[in-house]
Amino acid sequence: MKISFPHMGHSFIAFKWLVEHLGHECIVPPEPSKKTLDLGVRYSPEFACIPFKILMGTYLEAEEMGAEVILTSGGCGPCRAGYYWVMHQYLLEEMGSKLKVVAFEPPMLDIRDFWKKLSWIRKSGKVSWKHFIEVMKITWEKIKAIDDVEIHSHEIRPYEINRGDTTRAVARALEQLDQADTISQIKEARDAGVKLLDELPRDRGRNPLKIGIIGEIYVVLEPSANHYLQIMLGEMGVQTHRSIYLSGYARESTISNGGEAIYQVAKPYLDELCIGGHGVNSIGETILYARHGFDGVVQLAPFSCIPEIVAKSIIPSVSRDFDIPVLTLFIDEQTGKAGVQTRLEAFVDLLEMRRQSKEEAARLVV
């Protein structure tokens, strides 16, 4: 089978490896571009959020490249994303497309369905269970290694002397990771990538601002959906920390360990464990970023994203109580790079000034 999947940051490197080693042909989804979005917007409902539209476009592009099956995730609500595969399938059928969308629902809710789909992929690829599990393990290592490199790059970028060095180094590191086939090779490639970043010429005298990035998972994870916001901020000399990574569930995070823990933090403001998507996380993480001494927070969300609207209505109180500025960016197909940049520059200026006046005040007290 020719299999494709949604494009989400650099994760395609790992998923490509996965699909190929399960005995299928992989159609690597192209990075979302103007064309992807145009296609998506044309065939999607008007008020669907931008991830829906980008995925729609991606699927159509993948089909053009020969894909027969799309693998994606399902969900149980209340976020709309869990219903996307159904809608995408409906819309594709309406267009007369033969593309089949197969979604993995959360295994905790329907283990039989999950198992059935896994078996189907394994059998049609003609691989043994032993091989299947091995491939899964290696893919997971790859995802983690990719995230490690990316996390490190956001720490290094504000110090770079030659603009663009870090981004180029990341690209080289990912190329090496792409070639790695075993767990030890992945480890080597990861270490080499981290070393490559560490050896870049740096100005260690800088004291960059620290900004936390929160919000809806797709626009946070897919740089082309948020106009490469983290790179943009890094090149403005800001260190960014992102709350969501694909490998985040297993990661010892300095900020949070997800789920219940983040709900306890957000509870005084939002007393409901699950409002869908990352709504509760956005509130909890703003508090945690404030506690960890970050200078500001940027909330990213697609236009009309319900959980993030709830979060946005509550964040002003959090921001006031914890004295941390928050910039909310709602992204849709009309959002332009220059608009994002202008607002970020203004936000960064504001944070600079806040820091200066705080230091001034501290000096006067001494």
Question: Which residues contact another protein by CB under 8 A?
Answer: 45-49, 52, 74, 76-80, 82-83, 86-87, 89-91, 94, 105-106, 109-110, 269-272, 274-277, 279, 303-307, 309-310, 312-314, 316-317, 330
**Number of neighbours of residue 283 by Cβ within 10 angstroms:** 28
Residue 106 CB, shortest distance to another protein, in Å, is: 8
Residue 225 CB, shortest distance to another protein, in Å, is: 18
For residues 38 and 334, what is the distance between their CA atoms, to the nearest angstrom? 11
H or E stretch at 286: helix 279-291
**What is the SS3 assignment for 328?**
strand
Under DSSP, the state recorded for 30 is P
For residues 62 and 21, what is the distance between their CA atoms, to the nearest angstrom? 19
Give the orientation angle of helix 129-156 with respect to helix 12-21, to 10 degrees: 170
Q: Which is nearer to another protein, 24 or 312 (CB)?
A: 312
Residue 349 CB, shortest distance to another protein, in Å, is: 24
Q: Which is nearer to another protein, 53 or 157 (CB)?
A: 53
Q: Which is nearer to another protein, 66 or 77 (CB)?
A: 77
Q: Which is nearer to another protein, 106 or 258 (CB)?
A: 106
Q: Which is nearer to another protein, 82 or 158 (CB)?
A: 82
Q: Which is nearer to another protein, 83 or 322 (CB)?
A: 83
Residue 90 CB, shortest distance to another protein, in Å, is: 5
For residue 165, with 0-12 CB atoms within 10 Å meaning exposed, 13-18 middle and 19 or more buried, which class applies? Answer: middle
Residue 105 CB, shortest distance to another protein, in Å, is: 7
For residues 86 and 98, what is the distance between their CA atoms, to the nearest angstrom? 14
For residues 114 and 122, what is the distance between their CA atoms, to the nearest angstrom? 12
For residues 304 and 216, what is the distance between their CA atoms, to the nearest angstrom? 11
Residue 110 CB, shortest distance to another protein, in Å, is: 6
Residue 270 CB, shortest distance to another protein, in Å, is: 5
Cβ–Cβ under 8 Å, residues 71 and 8: no
Q: Which residues contact 193 (CB under 8 A, 6 or more apart)?
A: 145, 148, 149, 152, 169, 170, 172, 173, 174, 176, 177
Q: Which is nearer to another protein, 3 or 48 (CB)?
A: 48
